[in-house]
Every structure is written in C-alpha cells, then in structure tokens.
Amino acid sequence: MDFKKTILWAVFSLSGLMLYNNWQVHEGKPSMFGGASNVAATATDKAGTPKLDMPAAISGVSATPQAPNAKTIATESAEKFTLENDLLSLEVSAAGANVVDAKLLKELTADQKPVEIFRHTSTHTYVARSGLVAVGSAELPNHTSTFKLERSGKDGSGRPFLVLSSERNGVKLEKTFLLNPGSYDVYVGHRVTQVAANGAPLILYTEIVRDGSEEPKIGPFGGAFSASTFTGPAIYTDGDKFKKVPFSDIEKNKFTPPAQIAAGQPGWVAMVQHYFASAWIPDTKLARDIYSGKLDNGLFRVGMQTQLGVIATGSTVTANAQLFVGPQEERMLETIAPGLELLKDYGYLTILAKPIFWLLEHIHNIVGNWGWSIILLTILIKLVFFPLSAASYKSMARMKEVQPRLMAMKEQFKGDPQKLNQAMMEMYRKEKINPLGGCLPVVIQIPVFISLYWVLLSSVEMRGAPWILWVHDLSIPDPYYILPIIMAVSMFVQTKLNPTPPDPVQAKVMMYMPIVFSIMFFFFPAGLVLYWVTNNLLSIAQQWQINRLFGKKPAK
C-alpha cells in the first residue's frame, strides 16, 4: 500500500506543480520546465550572415531609419488604404506602406467585434513592414518613407488590390497588396527599379514589429489559475525547424539566428499569440537571413533579409512574399507554407495531442458539434484502455472485499510495520491482488488528459463553439460551474466505490481529492471538464458493475 500511496501523492503533486508553474509564467517569471527555444546564448553573428547588411534600425544602432512611433512616423495622421475580402480587413498606411491594422471579420470578441491583430496606437504597436537597404548607400525607400497610391481596385478575377510606390536616391520601390477571396493569406509583391546608377547590392527586409505586452489570460479572474499561452516571435527553417523565441531571449541577446537560408529552401518568421498569428513568408527563389532585435522604444521585431544583389541601372527586380494574418487553423496552415501548422503549439506532448485532435476533428465532421465530439472521443479512449481499466477495477473490487482483513492486520501488527507489510503482501499473493492496480487508470490518463488540455487550449476551431444549453463556448470555463460541480460529485462517488485506504493520512487525501480537483476545474475550459466528467461517469458505471459481480464472491 505504500507504493499506492506514493503514486497518489505523485499525481496530486504533479497537479499542484502544473498550477504553480502556470502562476510563475503569469507573474512574468520563466517556466520551471524551461523555454521553448533551445538556441545558444550568444550574440555573435553566424558565418555567412553579414553583420551590417541591414538598416541601422535592424542592427540596433541608433540611426535612421528609426523605429515607427508617434514622433518618427505620423501613422495616425497618414492616409490609409483599405483592402478587404470576406475574412480579412487590412489597413495599409501611406507612411512606409506598412500594414498597421488587420481585423478578422469572422472571428468575434465577447462584445461581437472583429478580432484585431495588427494595431498601431499610442498604447499598443503590432505592425508588418518592409523596405530596402544597401550597405554604405544613402537612405532608400523603407518603412519610414512616404508612399503614394499608384492604383487600386479589383483585378480580372475580382481580387482587391493596392499598389503604392516610393522613390529615394535613385531607387524606386513599388509594393503590391493582393487579397484572394476566402483567404487570410496576403500576396505582397516588391518591385525594385534602379532608376539611377548605384553599385551597392540591395537588400529587401520584411519584418513584424510588436510591443512586449501579452494577450489577456484565459480564465474568469485572469490570475494564477488562468491558462498561459506563448506570446512572441517564432521562426522556421528547413534545418532548425520550428523555434519559439521569447521576448526575454531577444532582450538579453540570447537568440542566435540560424544560418543563411539558401535559395530554394523554405523559411519564415512569425509573431504568435493565443489562437492567432501573423507571418512573413518570402519567396524561396533568393537567399535569406533571419534577424531579430529590441528597439529603443520597447518594441521587438523579427524579420528576414532577402538578398537582391546589384541591380543594373534601368533594370527591375521583383521579390514576392506572403503575409499571413489569421487564426491558427491547423488544416489551413498546412496549405500555406511548409511547417506553418506548427504555429498551433501543443506543448511537450505534441506526439499525443496531434492524433487526438485529428480524431476529434474527424468525429466533428460527422456529428457537427464539438461538445458531442469530445464525449464520443472520451468513449473511444475509454474503449481503447478498457482491458487495462477492467483489470485495474477488478483489483480495486478485490481490495474492497479484503478491506476488513486489512484493518484487522493493522490492529494485530500495530507498532510493527515490517510484519504488517509482510502479512499484507502474503495476503495479496494468495488472493491474486495487485495493490497498485487501482492507480493505473489515473496514471495512464494523465498524459492523455494533459494532451487534451493543450488541444482544447490551442484549438481556435473550438473558440466560441457551443455544446448545449448553458455551455456557449467550450474554450472558456463553464460560466455557471455546473460541469465542475458534477465532476466533484462523480469523483466523490468514485471514492466511495473504491476501497478505503487503511492509512488515515491516505484516506484523508482521497476524501479531499474531489474538492481539490473540482476547484482546479472551475478554471479549466468547459470542453476539458466535459471530457473528465464523461470519463468519470463511464468509470463509475464500469466500477459499479465489476463491484456487483465480484461482490457475490466472498473473500477467502
């Protein structure tokens, strides 16, 4: 029984540890399990990446072009141009031809307004921008330049577009923004013309700039029991794959960019928040370098430099890119760029979470309701683990039968724990009882439970998804706490069906466990509580049937 008590305490401690770690993250402290990025803590540039092949603002040197703020770029007063389809509404400012506002028309907030991704105000900055630089050359058209509208409207396929241009020191940059219907993917073309003679190689940079503020925590009180998700930059290359880059790593100069991305190789940079993301995906036909940095005005950036080389006088070079602004819908992201679906992060148990979501998604395609999909998924998981669970419940039923004998042994060998353990082990051997069997269902479900937690927390597909009656959104806590209360009652019934531990301390732990878990589940997404309630009810039915069958057979 000591082993069983140890496992139960481990389960209880793990739950408490997860909550404490969540509180640490909420308070701005590093996670106890480490950051997602495993890059080396060095500030030196890797071989093959030009250290100064970027404007002063990119390299971190205080010079022009400067970071966008109210003093250097009058974005609020500059003329803005709107580009819109059925899903996305963009605002492109004449100041830098930067995307300064993006609204997701089908994703609504609690007050029924479109979710706003890009935004540039006095209190919050989150923009996408691009421009040109050249080593040792005069200032070229960049994110601080004034652009004028060349033309706008719809092309022959009915797609809305904008064309803006700016010319500086003999170089003309023309930006084309084009939206496809039913898409969060924006085509951004950069057409560079060398008007006057200039022998310097040109570089196009595409970057996302954001302040370090985090999105509101998921939970009714926004405190220690709220869900914490990653907010910050992310990068992807064919060699290093997907990496999240915390703002703290950039601020402390701990992020080392990967080696130069060769022509033909995929790569992108992104800015991630809960449920949503933005990403620059440059054309793969040219070599690119990834960079990041913190600006003097408290902004962070991540971007790519595309090497355009020397452009002959009178010649034009084009460098296309995709700008994604939208929800982290896994199937949609897979169609846009290699590895982009990794923006939907399932944490450390991705190997379990991805197949769980795949199965959940296929069930939803049949029933059309995420709540009933979770219930059916729980039943399928229960069927998969049925043989092991049945054996465990049989063991618990046999334990309940021999409970009087255990209590008698405890009284008989009072003061001699060694003889008590020997007598108990001998009885278990004769009765063919596994004392650890009752813990197996709980222990086995922990990875599945945590994986499903991240599936429900990360899946924008379930954002705003109703179930029945009072549950209007499975991604947030139950507004009336009905499901957590049902779960607490079901856990109490389960405790009564199981044998009472002979150890008084262990018995108290088992008695208070339903209360502790129900308090925790008050702050978990309703979909997760629905899974646990369904699992408990199925377990109660299974345990009751096994107890009824084995109760007819008296212990020897």
Average pLDDT over residues 134-149: 87
Average pLDDT over residues 170-193: 93
Which amino acid, one-letter code, is at 47?
Answer: A
Distances (CA, A) of 439 to 1, 9, 301, 494: 11, 11, 48, 13
Give me the pLDDT at residue 512, please.
Answer: 64
Give me the pLDDT at residue 2, please.
Answer: 44
Please state whether the predicted TM-score (pTM) of the whole model is above 0.85: no
Band the pLDDT of 318: cuts 50, 70, 90.
Answer: very high
Higher pLDDT pick, 446 / 104: 104
Domain limits of the chain? 2-20+353-550, 63-215+229-344
Each residue's pLDDT tens digit, 345-387: 887 788 888 898 999 999 999 998 998 999 998 888 888 777 7
Band the pLDDT of 468: cuts 50, 70, 90.
Answer: confident
Does the domain formed by 63-215+229-344 have CATH 2.70.98.90? yes
Band the pLDDT of 304: cuts 50, 70, 90.
Answer: very high
* Tokens found for residue 360: 């959940």
Average pLDDT over residues 198-203: 85
Q: How many Å apart are CA 301 and CA 293, to the nearest integer?
A: 6
Higher pLDDT pick, 412 / 85: 85
Task: Quote the DSSP letter at residue 404.
Answer: H
Strand-pair partners of 282: 321
Strand-pair partners of 232: 272
Band the pLDDT of 544: cuts 50, 70, 90.
Answer: confident
Q: For residue 18, which of 446, 518, 510 has the smallest C-alpha distance? A: 446
* Tokens found for residue 248: 């703290």
What is the pLDDT of the chain when averaged over all its residues?
Answer: 76
Distances (CA, A) of 196 to 175, 242, 398: 19, 41, 90
Distances (CA, A) of 498 to 393, 404, 501: 9, 14, 9
Give me the pLDDT at residue 20, please.
Answer: 46
Angle at CA 348, nearest 5°, toward 347 and 353? 70
3-state SS, 428-442, equals HHHHCCCCCHHHHHH
* Helical (H) or strand (E) element with 487: helix 482-497
Give me the pLDDT at residue 555, please.
Answer: 44
Give me the pLDDT at residue 204, please.
Answer: 94
Contact 518, 487 (CB under 8 A): yes
Q: How many Å apart are CA 278 and CA 269, to the nearest integer?
A: 9
